[in-house]
Structures are given as structure tokens and as C-alpha cells.
Amino acid sequence: MTLLSGTVIRIYYLWHPIRYDEALTRVISYRPIVKVVTDYFAPNNHLLHSILVKCTSRIFGDTLAGIRVPALLAGIVLIILVFVLASALYDRKTALIASVLTAFSSTLVEYSVLARGYTMLLVFFLLTFTLGAYLLRTNNGFAWIMFSIFSALGFYTIPTMLYPLGVVVVWMIISALAGSKKMVNLVSFFKRLFLSLSAAGIVTVLLYLPIIVNGSYKIALDIPESRRLHWGDFFPSLKETAKLTWSMWMRDIPLILAVLFVCFFIVSVFAHRGISDHRIHPIFSVALWLCPVIFVSRVISPLRVRDWLFHVPVFHCGVAAGIVFTLRGLRLSDKKKRIALFLCAIVLIVLLGSFLLHFNGISSSEEGGRCNEAEEIAVFLKGILREGDRILAYCPCDLTIAYYAEKHGIAGEYLYGNVFLGKRLIFAVNRVPIYSQSIESVLAYGGIDYKKVKGSIKLIKRFECTDIYECYLR
């Protein structure tokens, strides 16, 4: 039931308006396959995801479903993998609650229907984590090979796999050193861990070799959010990132329920040894790995809170463990405890599903560059365009409007023709504060001198978040 309802809620959001980053994913995936795998001209090129989008858009056509299918399938698989991971760390009762929390997480639902590689990254993270728990108890050679493959595929999806994989590896190391039930031989374990990580590293380098050779990877390092911060900027950025990360995790959840979830997570930390065969709670590996990495690199940005998305399913497992531990403490018979657990799952499905649809944070989220009225703008433009017109916009409006403009048959010359050869310029100014757009900034983006055209500038249409202006170039 959890998997079915989680799938239905994702399909419900599958056709919400395209975002800027998705439109860029579409542009990337429609290039020749050689270009896709060798040119990192935009950090948006999540390589494995882009390859899959290229395949699915051939199967399902140039549609929203066509470019979102890989992320959607990964988002559905997440529900299953959280169940498997929670079973490995705790038990099947905890797994049931954890999978419900994942199925109706507003953030995870959103990323399940955004044509980006983040849900695929989470899939590989959960696979390596589950294998890590398994490999602490067995020296299965095939499992070690799969650990290497999933690690490499995670890196090939997004290089930030470094964060979640580091958490998994640190957890495996300290769990091995702390000892646990049915623990394998330590020498053999560390030897195979080293070989597995080395193999994953070699495969990753080989996969990225074309991009390393042509140097296009440098583009990802040059964007502002990837730059090393000075200490004066680091702590404010860290504080804002933490605040936005919390907001992302708890979106569409009332404060009182969010506080309860945190309390249950804390319970799972203190009660961990009584509810898990593994001595080390995952939160300790998160702290031991990420704190040094963040402080040494000083690369953190409020624009990249999605880098910490992998914490969400781990948090769900902890919350679920805390709930199950609390239910066990009730003076009830085993039968009544099972009924209470089942009712708890039902209540969570109803509550979280209702909150998700009622608050509808997905539609107002700015993640990926939102321009919900892009199709309305395209339809409006089609009705007023005449020969010699040019259209000008920039993120998040340019690619989103262009997508719907193409769908509604607006000729490419209006969208991509030389602006200076046009007579009338129609341009969009997004009013959402985070984009800091103005008439002057949009015109400057197109290379237009504001002073020369300001006398002819006229507001011709106002949408929810975007104003449409016209001016005459000659």
C-alpha cells in the first residue's frame, strides 16, 4: 500500500510545469551522445541521468514524462530501498514506518518528478549503505563487486556522491572497529574495502576521462556555489544552508509534527544499541565525515542545499526507529502493538498525504528555477508576435518559455534570432526576489542599452510572477 500510494502521489505531480534546470537537461540530452558524455558545459549535465533521459525521451517523445521518467522511477525505487535499508539497520516494523515517511516526503516527491539526477544518486547511496551493512557480516565477493559498481555509478551520476559515500564508508569503518554481532574478520574486511574503493575510483576516473582530458570539468568548479569561501563568508553561508536544509526536510509538515519527528530521531540515537544489531548510529558517521570535509573545503552554499538530500532517508530511518521503540515501551500485548504499528502507518499516510496536497510546497518551490506561468506566457506571446519581433528572457524564464513556445509552434527566429536584427523586443522580467531581475538587468543580459530604449518600454502583460514588456530597437 505504501509503495502504491507513494507512486500515485508522484505521478500526480509528474506534469507540473517544467523548471529551468529540467529544460537545460532536455537541451543536454538532445545533443549527440558523444557530446553528452564528453562535454560538461553545464554542471546540470548529470551524466548517467542525461544518458537515460536521452533514451526515455526517444521512447516517450519530447514530453515532460519523457524527460522525467528516469527521476520518477528512481524516486519510486527509493521507497523500496529505504524499506530494505531500515530492515538491515533495524527491523521490518521500522522499515514500514520509514518507507511511509519517504513515500510522502514533499522534498523527495519533488525530486522524483524533476528531471535531475538527485533521486538516482540517492538510489546508489542507499544501495551502497545497505550493502555496507550486509558486508559487515559477510565477506561475499559478489557483494563487494556490486559495492564498487554502485559507488562508481553514483559518482558518474553526480560527483557529489563523495558526500554520501564518505558517510557510508566511515560508518562501515567505525562499525567494524566497534564490533557487532556476526562481525567478519577485520583484516579481510579492511582489505576488501580498500580494494573495492580503489576499483570504484579507477572506474570513475575512466568514465570521466573524456571530460578530464578536454578540461570541461573546470566549468563546474568555476560557478560561485563551488568556490572556496573566506572564513568571514563561510559561517554565514553555513548558517543559511542549515536553515534552508531544515526547511527543505520539513516542508509541508506542521511544526508540531516536525518537532515530534526530531524527538523520535533523538530517541533512536540514545536507544540505538537496544534496537539495532549495529553498534553505531548513522548520525555519528555523518558528523565524523561531513564536518571535517565542510570545514576543510569551505565549499558550502545555500544554493546547493540539494547536496544534503541524502540525509533525508537516513533521518526517516531514525524517526521510524524512535517511533517503533516508543511503541514497544507501551504496556500492550504483542498483538495490540502490531495493530498500533499498522494504525500508525495508516495515520502517517493520511496525514502526510493530506499535508502534501494541502500545503502544496512543490508548486511554490524555487528548486530548479520555477516559472509556473511559462506556458501561459508562450500562449500569450503566440497571439501578439509579428514579423521582426524578438523574445528576450533569462533564468528561470528563458528555457522554460522556450520549451512551451516550441510546443505551441512559435518559430525559432523569435526565440533564437539575433536580437539586434529585430524591430520590437518583447522581454520577460521575473519578480521573484531571489532572481534579482529588473528591466535594466534583463536588457543588459541581451546586450541592449537601457538608455537608448527606455522611452519605448511598455508593460504589456502581468502574470503571477513575471511581467512582459515591449520596447522598440529601431
pLDDT digits (tens, 9 = 90+) for 242-260: 999 999 999 999 999 999 9
Q: What is the pLDDT of residues 28-71, one digit of tens each?
A: 888 888 888 888 877 788 889 999 999 999 899 889 999 999 99
pLDDT over threshold 80, residue 125: yes
User: Rounded mean pLDDT of 141-150?
Assistant: 96
> What is the C-alpha separation between 161 and 322, in angstroms, rounded?
28
Cβ–Cβ under 8 Å, residues 108 and 131: no
Q: What is the pLDDT of residues 66-112, one digit of tens each?
A: 999 999 999 999 999 999 999 999 999 999 999 999 999 999 999 99
129 or 415, which is more confident: 129
Mean of all residue pLDDT scores within the chain? 91
pLDDT of residue 273: 86
Q: Give the angle 204-209-212 at the CA atoms, nearest 5°.
A: 110
User: Rounded mean pLDDT of 2-10?
Assistant: 93
pLDDT over threshold 70, residue 180: no
3-class secondary structure, 198: helix
Q: Which range, of 30-39, 151-160, 378-387, 393-402, averages the lowest pLDDT?
A: 30-39
For 206, residues 6+ apart whose C-beta sits below 8 A from its C-beta are none
- Band of residue 4 on the pLDDT scale cut at 50, 70, 90: very high
3-class secondary structure, 298: coil
pLDDT of residue 149: 97
For 249, residues 6+ apart whose C-beta sits below 8 A from its C-beta are 107, 311, 312, 315
pLDDT of residue 308: 92
For 246, residues 6+ apart whose C-beta sits below 8 A from its C-beta are none
**What percentage of the chain's residues is helix, strand, coil (to nearest 5)?**
70, 5, 25
